[in-house]
Every structure is written in C-alpha cells, then in structure tokens.
C-alpha cells in the first residue's frame, strides 16, 4: 500500500485523533498572540504506525500551507471558525473541519476579536499525558530535527 499524496488532506478519522491545545502568549511588547499547538499522541488505531501518524501530520501541515519552523511563519489566511464558544479549524477537507476542544476563554476572545493565531504543528507523536517539561523537550527536539511547521491565521468573519 502506498502513502497518500501530501496534497490530499488527511481524513476525518485521522483528524479526530489529533490533540490541539490553545494558549495566549503575552510578550513584553503587549501584543497578545493566540497560539494553537497541534500534536498527535501516536498510533492508536488498527494499522496505524509512527510512520503513518507522521505522514498524516505532514499532510495536515501541507493542507494548511504551514511553513518550516526555522523560517518566518507564513500567513495562511482565515482558517479558524468561532461560534458560540466553539472553535474549529478549516484544514482543507471538502466536507469536514477539525474541532478545537476546550479553547480557553481568553483565546476565544482574542481570536474572535480578529487577533492573529500562530499554529504550531509537530510531526512526531507526543504522549497524551506529557507534562509541560516533556512537551517543551519534545518541541525543542522536533524543532532541531526539522519536524515543526507553523503559520499565522485568524478567524473568518463568516462561515
């Protein structure tokens, strides 16, 4: 069996297993930036391997038009949808979007007001129970291996 093309977004079954976490970065210049970290906990479904998970994450990064982590993040257009306290990400599938579970209220307020959101996607699996130190170490190692993609998006005005 051959792997699907990177030009084809992953299906809803794969996307449903992705982990997404929101945060707001408040740098010293006072311009808050919403953040969305997208990871995968690793193989959990039948016939899933670390390689197929990483392939799915690469396909998701390609569908979102994310750029390499070592370069300035590209602006990828309005990919977020906010409505009544719920958030979703348009990842390029023609029928489905990715829900963002439990976004923080400050993240919703910032994105809902038109603020920028930095998406950071990591190819290599990250365990669901990873604490902050483990997540930081995983991000640093993934960045050093060129396994991070990112981009800047915002909420669509209508959906």
CA dist 116 and 57 (Å) reads 22
> What is the token pair recorded at 140?
């640093």
How far apart, in whole angstroms, are the C-alpha atoms of residue 35 and residue 47? 32
Rg (CA), the chain: 15
Region 52-70: mean pLDDT is 95
Task: With cut-offs at 50, 70 and 90, classify the pLDDT of residue 1.
Answer: very low
The C-alpha atoms of residue 23 and residue 45 are separated, in whole angstroms, by: 28
Compute the mean pLDDT over every residue in the chain, rounded to the nearest whole number: 90
Give the other-Cβ count within 10 Å of 135's Cβ: 16
pTM of this structure: 0.89
Mean pLDDT of 32-45: 91
Q: How far apart are CA 117 and CA 23, in angstroms?
A: 10
DSSP character at residue 23: E
């Amino acid at each position: 069996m051959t792997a699907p093309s990177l030009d084809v977004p992953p299906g809803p079954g794969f996307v449903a297993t992705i982990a997404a976490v929101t945060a707001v970065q408040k740098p010293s210049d006072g311009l808050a930036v919403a953040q969305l970290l997208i990871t995968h906990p690793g193989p959990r479904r039948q016939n899933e391997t670390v390689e197929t998970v990483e392939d799915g994450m690469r396909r998701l990064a390609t569908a979102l038009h994310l750029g390499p982590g070592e370069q300035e993040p590209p602006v990828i257009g309005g990919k977020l949808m906010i409505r009544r306290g719920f958030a979703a990400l348009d990842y390029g599938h023609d029928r489905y979007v990715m829900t963002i579970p439990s976004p923080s209220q400050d993240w919703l307020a910032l994105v809902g007001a038109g603020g920028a959101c930095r998406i950071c996607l990591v190819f290599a699996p990250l365990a669901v129970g990873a604490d902050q130190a483990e997540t930081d170490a995983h991000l640093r190692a993934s960045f050093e291996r060129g396994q991070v993609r990112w981009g800047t998006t915002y909420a669509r005005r209508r959906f």
